[in-house]
Structure 1
Amino acid sequence: MQALSTLILIDKDSVQPVYLQIANQLMVFIKEGNLQAGHRLPSTRQMADWLTVHRKTVIQAYDELLAQGWLESRTGSGTYVARHLPEMHPRSLLNGAARSVNPAHTAGFEFEALPHLAQPTVFSKNKYHLDDGFPDSRLAPLEELARAYRSQLLTGNPYVRLGYGDTHGSLWLRQVLADYLNDTRGLKITPENVLITRGTVMGLYLSCTAFLKPGDIAVVGELNYNGANMNFLQAGARLVKIPVDEHGIVVEALADICRKQRIRMVYITSHHFYPTTTALRADRRIELLRLAEQYGFIIFEDDYDYDFHYLSKPLLPLASADKAGVVLYCGSFTKTISPAFRVGYLVASENVIHHLAQLRRIIDRQGDILLENAIAELLQNGIIQRYLRKSMRTYRQRRDVFCELLTANLGDHVQFQVPVGGMAVWTHFDPAVNLPALARKALQHDLYFSPGYRNEERSPVLNATRLGFASSTPDELASCVEILRKLLCS
């Protein structure tokens, strides 16, 4: 024990009390088998002499270990390592040295690292960015939102306000949101048809978990949002991909599949197809709904940026024409206000919403009720509606400026169609351009953009990418294009 005591290191400058430093290091000796069950510890006076600390400090250390059950006191005999502890052996030696194990780095158990989860999390801190199509948070009604959030934080019954709420989400937000979606999307819903989520991805995850079994077929476009593909694969579904053209997914190909095998779910971004931003043509919308009703599959409609359509009144979502209850309609405020505000919604039949709310409870007891109520206040007062009208004019101007800049400066290197909506331009680069290399060079000039579209980790990178324009001012967009021009012409 005297030899072990020389290994106890005391840092009197540490914020941790000395007695806890002693107790914790003695605990390690016991865990590693250097102090076996039943071993008698030296007296507190003897240990204090060895460690050159006050006896009361050692008494506190022993008392701490006694309280935790590592030690036991025998009247008239002394303090011992607890007898009830299992026999522990010192760490085995490998080639004469203790085997080095760092549990903070590597777990002591095996698990499968699934390839579909091996996707980088992209976030840019660069001065310039042509992102995936994000809003400009500088335009968001942050002062109004801050006031509304503060009001929710400080007023009302604190037990109710700061306690547990409904797993469906804020009732106030569901009421206001139902009215808003009925007015703007042509839906015919009540608050009972709405589940508040932390974003579209959460709604998709809940839906996949609830309604897909291993082996079920989920149909997506050949080009598709990779986050959706990851969710389907995580649920054990079998992905079947169908062609995509300038009008969205080819529904005729879906009909052929339906005649041969049972489909469980179809994922669609019908308004501004991801990644190409095209809208699903009217006849295909009608046929898709007809097929869903005929063959009984679910349509998951991800309407990620419905509010930003620049030519005319936006096409109503599939959910507005759903007479058979086959559509799960999902949207979010992350593309409306800012990705930092994790408030989304899923609309479906009442029994589906009830089922998903029960499932949601086991992964996320509830959302941010204060934020949800603050959003409800802004919606009810028309603040978000005014913000959307203003930001749509701004984003339309930025789209026009950006497309003109691309044509004037990069016309020999890129091809694109001016998007009718959304916040990004689907851009094809000349085959001679090494897009990943161009993206790496751009980073050296403080410009971020995606190094080419990849549908999944194992698929090849297309020489095309989404260049987001909404989050940058016209001057910033000009700087972005100038950087690209210089790099392509060098």
Structure 2
Amino acid sequence: MFPLKNNIVLDRQANRNLYLQLSDQIIGFIKSGKLSPSAKLPGSRRLSEDLNIHRKTVVAAYNELIVQGWIETLPSKGTFVSNSLPIINPSSFSNTDSLNKLKLKSNFLFISRPNLFCGSSRTPKNTEQLIKVNDGSPDHRLAPIQEIARTYRNITKKRYSQNLLSYGSTYGNEDLRNALATYLNQTRGLHLDIDNILITRGSQMGIYLASQLLFTKKTRVITGVTNYLTADNTFEDANAVIENVPVDANGIDTNAIEVICKIKNVTAVYVTSHHHHPTTVTLSAKRRMHLLQLAQQYKFAIIEDDYDYDFHYSNAPILPLASNDYNGNVIYIGGFTKIIAPAVRVGYMVGPKDFIDEAAKLRRIIDRQGDTLLEQTLASMITAGDIQRHCNKVLKIYRSRRNLFCSLLKERLSDYFDFEIPDGGMAVWVKLNKKYHWDNVVNEAYNHNLELNPEWQRYDPNNLGHNGIRMGFASLDEEEIHEVIDRIQKVFKNL
């Protein structure tokens, strides 16, 4: 008989009942082959004495195992592991390495995607004192959490809110789509109605859905030679061939796009038109009109990722390409992640109705629907003007942070970095003096509890050698900005 006495460990302080702990461990022994089919189990009285627990606890555990089909009781004979279970070769108790490997390595085949970007596993010395300089995220501490909570509570108190807990439309909450149609028409000069909008789980889902619908093997997408790497990964995963064209102070080079269109079939062009990712430059008006003309002439889609349209500091934001799209060429993608906080995974995709209809079908098999209560909350906040007021508030804060960050960067670190003050967005595109290497800078920064984009290589996947990365300022308050500059100075003194 298998020695349960020496191998059962019960924790009286745990939240899980003792009888369930006992049944869980017996199931584990059966699954691992240590208790084979038809193996006899000790009687409830004996096992209770062996484990120093009440007999009723053992009886309850055995009853649970009987109900689940793991064991069976034979009158006048005792309790046995069910003989209908498959025989499993037992694992050695001493071979802990093999047990650990079961958790780390799969015993089945699956498709690996080594090209997809994954975050760094580097752990800093002191996480409590760590300051992270991200690549341009909003400050979640400024999120209008009170307004969100108040609106959310008011919605859940109303009788109709119960319907929001059921299945809804794959297009997204209807009130949010209506509110967005009005909001986008007013703020971005679009010409759309509810049928042109699909609610997504953030803008990345919009990029993914568009890619899956547009690209097949050997279809072609044009992007900037420096580009948002996650978009590139998404296009590659959809089997698209990526053609790179230069990006300069006026944005993506549309003349280079035209050259490619004359000799090759182009399915789509991807642009971050307002603040190019990663360099932050704005696509000029001349190139915007040229790109729309090319899309009409060569019948390709423009995937316009307008991830932080609302944050432009020097003047009023330039209206997106979608505002001048009269031929159905632009797929416009945005969201609330940059406006409110990264955890608010609500975005939208705008396009011709037939394309949106197809995207809704595809969305159904990826994510049946979004968070209907949160979507209703955002709809109410847009209608009440809360989102617009929040944008105006944080716009002033981010402008002030940009000015401080750039002035300190120029005043104290100009020997090490070259940069232009961005007109908008949440990050500065900085180029490191080529006397230094980012690996050394990033590693030394960790010694000062500072994280500077450890995956800096993702900004130069084509090995251009521009030595540039994005430094986000929006998520740092003034005290943190001063501390970041101080620590970077110490980094270069040590180097």
Q: Give TM-score scaled by structure 1 length.
A: 0.89
Cross-structure match for 1:155? 158
User: SS of the residue aligned with 1:100?
Assistant: helix
Counterpart in 2 of 1:449? 452
Inter-partner Cα distance in structure 1 for 2:42 and 2:312? 78
Amino acid across the alignment from 1:236: N
Alignment partner, residue 100 of structure 1: 98
Q: Partner of 1:101: helix, strand, or coil?
A: helix
Aligned CA distance change for structure 1 residues 27 and 242 (closer, same or farther; 3 Å)? same
Q: How many angstroms apart in 2 are the aligned matches of 1:73 and 1:436?
A: 65
User: 8 Å contact 2:448–2:491 — kept in the other structure?
Assistant: no
Query: Structure 1's 317 and 118: CA in aligned 2 closer, same or farther, altered over 3 A?
Result: closer
Equivalent residue, structure 1, for 2:489 = 485
Q: Deviations over 1:146-204 (max 9, x none)?
A: 21122123333342133332222221111111111101111011112111122111111
Runs of 5+ unmatched residues, structure 1: none
Match of 1:264 in 2: 267
Is the CA contact 2:10–2:22 (under 8 Å) kept in the aligned structure 1? no
Checking the alignment, whether the CA contact within 8 Å between 2:156 and 2:162 is kept in structure 1 is no
Any conservation in 1 of the 2:201–2:345 contact (CA below 8 Å)? yes
Structure 2 matches for 1:35-54, cutoff 5 A?
A: 35-41=35-41, 43-45=43-45, 47-48=47-48, 53-54=53-54
* Structure-2 residue corresponding to 1:143: 146
User: Match of 2:199?
Assistant: 196
The 5 Å alignment of 1:121-140 reads: 128-140=131-143
Structure 1 residue 42 displacement after superposition: 5.0
The aligned runs of 1:363-442 (5 Å cut-off) are 363-442=366-445
Identity of aligned residues (%): 41
Query: Where does residue 321 of structure 2 map in the other structure?
Result: 318
Q: Contact 2:419–2:430 at 8 Å: present in 1 too?
A: yes
Q: Which residue of 2 aligns with 1:82?
A: 82
Change (3 A) 1:59 1:411: closer
C-alpha displacement of 1:53: 5.0
In structure 2, the residue matched to 1:170 is 173
3-state DSSP of counterpart to 1:408? helix
CA distance in 1, matches of 2:129, 2:203: 26
Note closer, same or farther for the CA distance 1:265–1:5 as it changes in structure 2 (3 Å cut). same
1:400 to 1:26, Cα distance in 2 relative to 1, 3 A: closer
Instruction: Name 1:251's counterpart in structure 2.
Output: 254
Instruction: String of CA shifts for 1:285-319, please: whole Å, max 9, x gaps.
Output: 22222222222222110001111222222221111
| 1:340 and 2:333 matched | no
Look up the match of 1:114. 113
1:46 positional shift = 5.3
Distance in 1 separating the partners of 2:161 and 2:380: 18
Distance 2:49 2:400 in 1: 78
Residue aligning to 1:220: 223
Which deviates the most, 319-328 or 158-167? 158-167
Name the CA shift for 1:34/1:354 in 2 (closer, same or farther; >3 Å): same
Q: 1:407 to 1:42 in 2, by over 3 A?
A: closer
Larger deviation: 181-190 or 11-20? 11-20
Distance (whole Å) between structure 2 residues aligned to residue 42 and residue 396 of structure 1 = 73
Q: Tell me how far apart the structure 1 counterparts of residues 128 and 212 of structure 2 sit (CA, whole Å).
A: 34
> Higher mean Cα deviation, 109-118 or 163-172?
109-118
- CA apart distance, 1:222: 0.8
Partners of 2:292 and 2:257 in 1: how far apart?
12
Whether the 8 Å contact between 2:12 and 2:18 is mirrored in structure 1 is: no
The alpha carbon displacement at 1:41 in A equals 4.4
Q: What's the counterpart of residue 67 of structure 2? A: 67
Kindly state the Cα deviation for residue 35 of structure 1 after the two structures are TM-superposed.
Answer: 3.9
Structure 2: distance between partners of 1:163 and 1:35: 44
1:210 lines up with 2:205 in the alignment: no
Distance 1:294 1:202 in 2: 28
Distance 2:469 2:47 in 1: 68
Structure 1 residues 403-451: Cα deviation after superposition (integer angstroms, max 9, x where no partner): 2222222223222222222122211221112333223333333433325
> Once structures 1 and 2 are overlaid, which stretch shifts more, 77-86 or 184-193?
77-86
Q: Secondary structure at the match of 2:232?
A: helix
d(CA) in 1 for partners of 2:439 and 2:490?
A: 16
Q: Which residue identity does 2:8 align to in structure 1?
A: L
Question: In the alignment, which residue of structure 2 is the partner of 1:273?
Answer: 276
Say which is worse superposed, 264-273 or 360-369, in terms of deviation.
Answer: 360-369
CA distance in 1, matches of 2:396, 2:13: 57
SS in 2 for 1:454: helix
Residues 135 and 21 from structure 1, CA distance in 2 versus in 1: closer, same or farther, beyond 3 angstroms?
A: closer
Deviates more, 1:189-198 or 1:44-53: 44-53
| Whole-angstrom distance in 1 between the partners of 2:302 and 2:348 | 16
Match of 1:419, SS state, is coil
Aligned-partner Cα distance in 2 for 1:190–1:440: 50
Are residues 171 and 430 of structure 1, via their aligned partners in 2, closer, same or farther at CA, if it must alter by over 3 Å? same
* Residue number in structure 1 paired with 2:480: 476
Instruction: Decide whether the 8 Å contact of 1:116 with 1:457 is kept in 2.
Output: no
Distance of aligned partners of 1:25 and 1:148 in 2 relative to their CA distance in 1, 3 Å threshold: closer
> Does 2:288 match 1:285?
yes
Distance 1:303 1:72, change over 3 A: same
Indicate the larger mover: 201-210 or 398-407.
398-407
After TM superposition, give the deviation of residue 398 of structure 1 in Å: 2.8
User: Do 1:454 and 1:460's aligned partners in 2 also have CA atoms closer than 8 Å?
Assistant: no
Q: CA deviation at 1:378?
A: 2.0
Q: How many residues align?
A: 487
Aligned-partner residue type, residue 446 of structure 2: L
TM-score normalised according to structure 2 size: 0.89
Using the TM superposition, give the Cα deviation of residue 256 of structure 1 relative to its aligned residue in structure 2, in angstroms: 2.2
Distance 1:5 1:315, change over 3 A: closer
Query: How far does the alpha carbon of each residue in 1:353-396 deviate from its partner, in whole angstroms, 9 at most, with x for none?
Result: 22222222222222222222222222212222222223323333
RMSD: 2.9
Q: Distance in 1 between matches of 2:87 and 2:479?
A: 71
- What CA distance in whole angstroms lies between the structure 1 residues aligned with 2:97 and 2:120? 34
Contact (CA 8 Å) 1:214, 1:237: kept in 2 or not? yes
For residues 71-90 of structure 1, what are the alpha-carbon distances to aligned partners after superposition, in whole Å with 9 as ceiling and x for unaligned? 23444554433232223333
Q: Which AA in structure 1 matches 2:59?
A: I
What is the one-letter code of the residue matched to 1:63? N
Choose 468-477 or 196-205, whichever is displaced more: 468-477
Deviation at 1:29, TM superposition (A): 3.7
CA distance in 1 between counterparts of 2:453 and 2:32 reads 49
The residue identity in structure 2 corresponding to 1:33 is: G
Structure 1 Cα separation of the partners of residues 398 and 275 of structure 2: 15
